Structure 1
């Protein structure tokens, strides 16, 4: 009896040892440089990616000391370390992989870059299938926003007495002084379960956790600043009637309910709602070029680019072509590198960067409507991995963008009432000039195929409360698989 009790305690103790997050750094044995965006896997379809500094952390709660961590990266030999042999903050070195040309590559070795890209497009539909999947997804966003210029001028306000108007203008001036030329950096992180169905945009979502690191006293972008201004206006437009709204000669609204229009502005978002996540991922999964390489213009319109074969390498048992590309025709916008399976012609990794002087999106109606918008930076990295069905699931996505917004509008509010002598009229000019840099990382921690029955029976949650923090605390994500924070995030606080 005593021996049985001892064995049970020993088993419980040994299992508990590995109920933790393991962390370390991956390096090249040859150069001693860190290896970013490498795969760290334990178990089937379960793992993380090293961050841009080669660091990783992975939760091993469900595994024993006998299970092994697998480390792999393009151009390196895979390495395996048992959990029981792993030491915290361990440095793991990978040696370069010497190409061993297999039969598949030998058959295809004479293909030109154009022929390879043609085969990539022919096999897109069979290589990527995001239907009936269940993903555990971690997302990190960094947003750096700066209001370059802000101006607000009241031309007419019949609803404000002279004394009240002075106070109103002072509050607007105060808002301008706090936000103009101020740099606002914020971070958000979330962990979500996402299930995809067979119909377009059919998703089910359960948000598990979310955090926010942000100075809410500052307006992060043009939209937030405009909301703060309109909130102050709405606080003074006390009327049961509706309003006609015009901007210049353009009618914007004939019967605007002020309370309804502005009641949500400047409201602190203390929750992450499932419906918002669904809208975001419906776009990413069904329309995003990042999760369907066939939508990249340098893939579908490859004739507009010049491709150069660099070499081949091995990755997860596949021989991989490495093709550099750059614009060849005027409408081509990107340069970068593709890693393509010599067997299936799937793109398993894509790196891309918007060419200097090009725009990813934008329009300029600055003089006609007082609006200008442009995206002059769009750089990205996307990694896929072959699954048991011989299709490819997303593993990691990183995208960096920079956008510029200019808004200069004159707005007129006129109350809809028969009493013309006491009708409320309000005219003001608003100028907002803003630039925003956004870095988004998405880690697909776990991916599984599911049945329609599993999809139908899955219950969504409405959302969760956001944990608002003033400095990064890694213990918040204990028990989760996430992308390790880099030093900039670890040291950030406000």
Structure 2
């Protein structure tokens, strides 16, 4: 961890934007007149979008004809269809609550207990979820805000600087910190990519279609930006081609650190997003990340640590669905939420979860021993799956909200590796950073389809895509693409 903090800084698509036909509207409950968030809006096989948290949607229908129809559905509601030729732009669609009586079906099904249902869920995980030889079109929206709660940086010794220069340098750093502390910076990023997975999920290919960033680059309060400014100031004065021994306290960090590379900070903002930088994170997402691999959720895997209750039984897409609520029942259980489980396949088709008040998703606290503390204090999520043509389940939508707190307070010593001790550069500084960040991520799986090994091998990745930096959200930027409709906060965000 200390070494990570030392530098302090990490074929077949139909897009016709000139003639695009994007339809938009919103879904409401007929009975309550309330919006229906995260409802499904589909047209054709495995192609569609999800309503946002305000019940709004937009969908591109270029590849379809007037004979096709949009299908609107949500758990607990009766689905409905509207032909494209009859669709009115920005209309409100009302769904009726599904009041089907399922008690007789429930009795025939031997009235399984919640624990028996969860046991069957685990037995069928491998059968129900398989992402090999699949292709997905993804729209990803990230929202983040960062705040440096406290920051201190002081050079105690620098043999390459005169004392009056060192004093001036520390004064400049103090001024930098005044403009950085307790300022929250907010940013949005959006991208549309195609992900193709081979027989082994590690053999993943990424094709970036478009990427945008909405961020104030003149004012930032995240740790990386602050660190870059500090390192830039040091790099302007430190000039050595030799390597350095580095210690933090009594702990050795590196015996041959090339300081020149670490302290020469790239100040120009990147104008592109690169495929090679995305691949590793998406391999992790599909193979290891608990957001798509339900067996990694402890409330699924370690279900006996939770108290499960059957809240209701409903129908969805022609099958019976158990609605199970859960809460911690033993000390090591940390989450509360609901699972929607198919009574036919015992697949989880929807999961809602959040951390219990006062619990942490992860963390390390060595504040007094090593001056380090890091913890994730919020973990809230929603994930929705849908049965595909192979009778396995593809993800449709995933949403997560996390909060991270980092405290770092260490001293660092640099000693130049040179035979001439009289000219050896020595450098010592103390640094404290206390940072809090929130990250909201939404992923819409617009389209999913099977691929053969031959098709996968023939797919060529692009190198990347130019980033579009924008100062105000503009819906026309995504004309011709299926995306998650922006909420009011994003629509009104302006730099």
Q: TM-score range by the shorter chain?
A: over 0.9
CA contact (8 A) 2:43 2:71 kept: yes
Instruction: Return the alpha-carbon distance in structure 1 between the equivalents of residues 196 and 233 of structure 2.
Output: 41
CA contact (8 A) 1:21 1:58 kept: yes
**1:253 Cα shift?**
1.0
Secondary structure in structure 1 of the residue aligned to 2:236: helix
- Residues 454/327 of structure 1: CA separation in 2 closer, same or farther (3 Å cut): same
Instruction: Return the alpha-carbon distance in structure 1 between the equivalents of residues 375 and 266 of structure 2.
Output: 25
Alignment of 1:14-163 (within 5 A): 19-101=20-102, 105-163=106-164
The answer to whether 1:214 aligns with 2:209 is no
Aligned to 1:454: 455
CA contact (8 A) 1:184 1:220 kept: yes
CA contact (8 A) 1:354 1:379 kept: yes
Secondary structure in structure 2 of the residue aligned to 1:236: coil
**1:269 Cα shift?**
2.4
Instruction: Return the alpha-carbon distance in structure 2 between the equivalents of residues 318 and 262 of structure 1.
Output: 60
Instruction: Return the alpha-carbon distance in structure 2 between the equivalents of residues 16 and 66 of structure 1.
Output: 22
**1:264 Cα shift?**
5.0
Instruction: Return the alpha-carbon distance in structure 2 between the equivalents of residues 315 and 291 of structure 1.
Output: 21
Aligned to 2:320: 319
Secondary structure in structure 2 of the residue aligned to 1:307: strand
Instruction: Return the alpha-carbon distance in structure 2 between the equivalents of residues 408 and 321 of structure 1.
Output: 50
Instruction: Return the alpha-carbon distance in structure 1 between the equivalents of residues 130 and 390 of structure 2.
Output: 10
Secondary structure in structure 1 of the residue aligned to 2:277: helix
Aligned to 1:295: 296
Instruction: Return the alpha-carbon distance in structure 1 between the equivalents of residues 259 and 168 of structure 2.
Output: 21
Aligned to 2:381: 380
CA contact (8 A) 1:25 1:91 kept: yes
CA contact (8 A) 1:18 1:60 kept: no
Moved over 6 A (4+): 15-18
CA contact (8 A) 1:211 1:467 kept: yes
> What's the TM-score, normalizing by structure 1?
0.94
**1:190 Cα shift?**
0.5
Aligned to 2:415: 414
Aligned to 2:12: none
Moved more, 330-339 or 158-167: 158-167
Secondary structure in structure 1 of the residue aligned to 2:85: helix
Aligned to 2:332: 331
CA contact (8 A) 1:99 1:313 kept: yes
Moved more, 213-222 or 54-63: 213-222
Moved more, 282-291 or 153-162: 153-162
Instruction: Return the alpha-carbon distance in structure 1 between the equivalents of residues 229 and 104 of structure 2.
Output: 64
**1:303 Cα shift?**
0.3
Secondary structure in structure 1 of the residue aligned to 2:94: strand
Instruction: Return the alpha-carbon distance in structure 2 between the equivalents of residues 387 and 79 of structure 1.
Output: 20
Secondary structure in structure 2 of the residue aligned to 1:319: strand
Aligned to 1:270: 271
CA contact (8 A) 2:128 2:391 kept: yes
**1:17 Cα shift?**
12
Secondary structure in structure 2 of the residue aligned to 1:80: strand
What is the alpha-carbon root mean square deviation over aligned residues? 1.8
Instruction: Return the alpha-carbon distance in structure 1 between the equivalents of residues 18 and 210 of structure 2.
Output: 25
Aligned to 1:248: 249
Unaligned runs of 5+ in 2: 1-15
**1:488 Cα shift?**
0.3
**1:262 Cα shift?**
3.6
Instruction: Return the alpha-carbon distance in structure 2 between the equivalents of residues 126 and 263 of structure 1.
Output: 51
Aligned to 2:4: none
**1:112 Cα shift?**
0.5
Aligned to 2:183: 182
- Residues 438/228 of structure 1: CA separation in 2 closer, same or farther (3 Å cut): same
Instruction: Return the alpha-carbon distance in structure 1 between the equivalents of residues 144 and 279 of structure 2.
Output: 21
Instruction: Return the alpha-carbon distance in structure 1 between the equivalents of residues 265 and 457 of structure 2.
Output: 33
Instruction: Return the alpha-carbon distance in structure 2 between the equivalents of residues 211 and 106 of structure 1.
Output: 52
Secondary structure in structure 1 of the residue aligned to 2:254: strand
**1:56 Cα shift?**
0.5
Aligned to 2:433: 432
Secondary structure in structure 1 of the residue aligned to 2:151: strand
The answer to whether 1:308 aligns with 2:316 is no
Unaligned runs of 5+ in 1: 1-14
**1:230 Cα shift?**
1.9
Q: Deviations over 1:285-313 (max 9, x none)?
A: 00011111111100110000000101111
Q: Deviations over 1:108-132 (max 9, x none)?
A: 2510001000000011110000100
Aligned to 1:363: 364
- Residues 347/474 of structure 1: CA separation in 2 closer, same or farther (3 Å cut): same
CA contact (8 A) 2:142 2:189 kept: yes
**1:378 Cα shift?**
0.3
**1:422 Cα shift?**
1.9
Q: Deviations over 1:163-199 (max 9, x none)?
A: 5434433432232122111011110101000001112
The answer to whether 1:196 aligns with 2:189 is no
CA contact (8 A) 2:184 2:220 kept: no
Aligned residues: 480
CA contact (8 A) 1:19 1:62 kept: no
Instruction: Return the alpha-carbon distance in structure 2 between the equivalents of residues 237 and 398 of structure 1.
Output: 45
Instruction: Return the alpha-carbon distance in structure 2 between the equivalents of residues 18 and 476 of structure 1.
Output: 14
Secondary structure in structure 1 of the residue aligned to 2:394: strand
Moved more, 423-432 or 230-239: 230-239
- Residues 65/167 of structure 1: CA separation in 2 closer, same or farther (3 Å cut): farther
Instruction: Return the alpha-carbon distance in structure 2 between the equivalents of residues 72 and 220 of structure 1.
Output: 42
Instruction: Return the alpha-carbon distance in structure 1 between the equivalents of residues 258 and 19 of structure 2.
Output: 58
Secondary structure in structure 2 of the residue aligned to 1:210: strand
